[in-house]
Amino acid sequence: MTAPRRVLRVLYMGSPDFAATVFEAVADRHEIVAAVTQPDRPAGRGRKLTPPPVKVAAQARDIPVLQPTAIKTAGFRKRLNELGADVAVVAAYGRILPGPVLETPRLGTYNVHASLLPWGRGAAPIQWAIIDGLQTTGVTIMRLDEGMDTGDIALQRTLDIAPGDTAGSLAERLAVLGAEAMVEGLERLAIGTLPCTPQNEDAATTTRLLTKADGRLEWTVHARRVSDRARGVDPWPGAQAGWGDQAIKLFGPTVAEGNGAPGELLGLEDDGLLVACGEGAVAFAEVQLPGRKRLPAAAVLAGQKLRVGDVLT
């Protein structure tokens, strides 16, 4: 006879879409006593006050939502203690949690991180995995401590990076994998079979947040590096290149054959607008001119806005 599944009282902490995917999987199997997420923030062209995806998901299930502006206060810790959680689950919450918060649940606090730690600590492991040309990445479930992604590893799951993956598409796939891994981790934690192993500090790397400047493409390098950069900064800040005194955005890169001065427009291929690199070329499926919509490369060339022989800087 199969033993009954053990339901844990979970305090959930997370904010973006990635965290909302994990939230749904945990909520399907355990009792979430509250969701802690970032405050609503202005978003979009209209700067309308917008709730984090985790808040939306929690309200849809009538789960209490906490949006503290400060997490080190005695009042916040008191509120967490009152919830009586067995365990806290963290996914892209956006803040480093202090020790008293981590120690509130009786079974500890566990995080799903979108890299195979100790590689890729920090805020942007998904983007940098692509930019750095990795072929494989994954997720790590770890027991949080007060460092930045330095806690003991409980379990890991790997995922191949597809040639066409962008940071956006890879994040979606890693969120699903992270949700599955966290559910497994909680099940093993509930029966006392979840191991924790210290990280190898000698192999640790840290990723930094992207800036708008990271979207600028450098044409003098190998085409593969140009393609990796363009995919890693999609959707934000987006791959950009100088065109005269303006900037254009480029999407859907594919490594191709071609020779020319770095940044030179070589023409149109099936895969898009062909741009020469330091070695080889990259074809971009879509182009967005200043103040215009994102369009197929063929449509932009047909409009004679970009011309073969132009050089992107």
**What confidence score (pLDDT) does residue 265 get?**
94
Q: Mean pLDDT, to the nearest integer, of 85-107?
A: 95
223: left (phi over 0), alpha (psi -120 to 50) or beta: alpha
* 164, pLDDT greater than 90: yes
**What confidence score (pLDDT) does residue 186 get?**
98
Contacts of 280 (CB under 8 A, 6+ apart): 222, 223, 224, 255, 256, 257, 258
**What confidence score (pLDDT) does residue 47 get?**
83
* 1, pLDDT greater than 50: no
Residue type, 103: E
* Per-residue pLDDT tens over the stretch 205-226: 999 999 999 999 999 999 999 9
Please state the separation of Cα 217 from the chain's center in Å: 21
* 112, pLDDT greater than 50: yes
DSSP result, 71-121: SSSHHHHHHHHHHT-SEEEEES-SSPPPHHHHTSSTT-EEEEESS-TTTTE
* Per-residue pLDDT tens over the stretch 186-205: 999 999 999 999 999 999 99
* 3, pLDDT greater than 60: no
Give the domains, in start order, of the chain with CATH numbers. 9-207 (3.40.50.170), 212-302 (3.10.25.10)
Residue type, 183: V
**What confidence score (pLDDT) does residue 290 get?**
86
**What confidence score (pLDDT) does residue 243 get?**
87
* 227, pLDDT greater than 50: yes
Angstrom distance (rounded) from CA 142 to CA 198 = 9
**What confidence score (pLDDT) does residue 304 get?**
66
Q: What percent of the chain has pLDDT over 70?
A: 98
Q: Mean pLDDT, to the nearest integer, of 223-249?
A: 95
147: left (phi over 0), alpha (psi -120 to 50) or beta: beta
**What confidence score (pLDDT) does residue 306 get?**
77
* 2, pLDDT greater than 60: no
